[in-house]
Each structure stands twice: as C-alpha cells, then as structure tokens.
C-alpha cells in the first residue's frame, strides 16, 4: 500500500497524513490496522441482530477511525449508517453494509 494508491482509491491522503504529522510510514501502518480491525464484522453482526444501540457504538467507533485517516470511500457508508443508528432507525442496512465491504475490499486489494 502506498500513499499514491490510497489517493487513487479516493482517500484524502493530504488530510490523513496531516493528522499523522506527515509521517507516511505511521499513516500507512494506521491505514493497515484500520482496514483489518474487527469493527466491520461487529457492526454487521449488531445490525443483523437488530441491536441498534450496540450497532451505533460499533459504527461510531469505526467512523472515527476512518475519518481520522480520511478513508473517504469507506467512511461515507459508515457515516450514513452511524447517523441512521443514532436515530435508532429501523431500516434495510444491507446496501450500506455492502458498500462498506466493497470499498474496504478495494483498499485491501
């Protein structure tokens, strides 16, 4: 993974790097950790179990990590779910979950 590749994928690398003191190695290490964390699975599990409070907590935590690293394509569906879950909105979250997984997969590949 390179900063250039992240930028091609839609990440706002300038913002992400700035938050990491412009340390590319540190930024890339954090991106790798963010892509591999268990929060994605936890969010999907809680939504499928209709545990909206717990799903909100998982989404909110994931949203924060993605926002700090400026991984915008993954951040956007997670952010949307976060706000829906904050309102305890019962909805079909599957399109947003699918988008989250699709974007994450693009970053991992």
The CATH number assigned to the domain with range 3-108 reads 1.20.120
Q: How many CB atoms lie within 10 A of CB 55?
A: 24
The answer to whether the beta carbons of residues 64 and 42 sit under 8 Å apart is no
pTM of the model: 0.93
Across the range 38-46, mean pLDDT stands at: 96
Q: Is 11 left (phi over 0), alpha (psi -120 to 50) or beta?
A: beta
The domains of the chain are located at: 3-108
pLDDT band at 1 (very low <50, low <70, confident <90, very high): confident
């Amino acid at each position: 993974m390179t900063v250039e590749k992240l930028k091609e994928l839609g990440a706002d690398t300038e913002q992400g790097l700035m938050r990491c003191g412009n340390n590319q190695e540190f930024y890339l290490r954090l991106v790798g950790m963010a892509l591999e964390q268990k929060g994605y699975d936890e969010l999907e599990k809680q939504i499928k179990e209709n545990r909206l409070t717990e799903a909100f907590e998982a989404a909110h935590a994931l949203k924060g990590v993605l926002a700090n690293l400026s991984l915008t394509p993954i951040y956007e569906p997670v952010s949307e779910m976060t706000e829906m879950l904050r309102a305890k909105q019962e909805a079909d979250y599957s399109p947003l979950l699918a988008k989250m997984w699709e974007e994450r997969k693009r970053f991992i590949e």
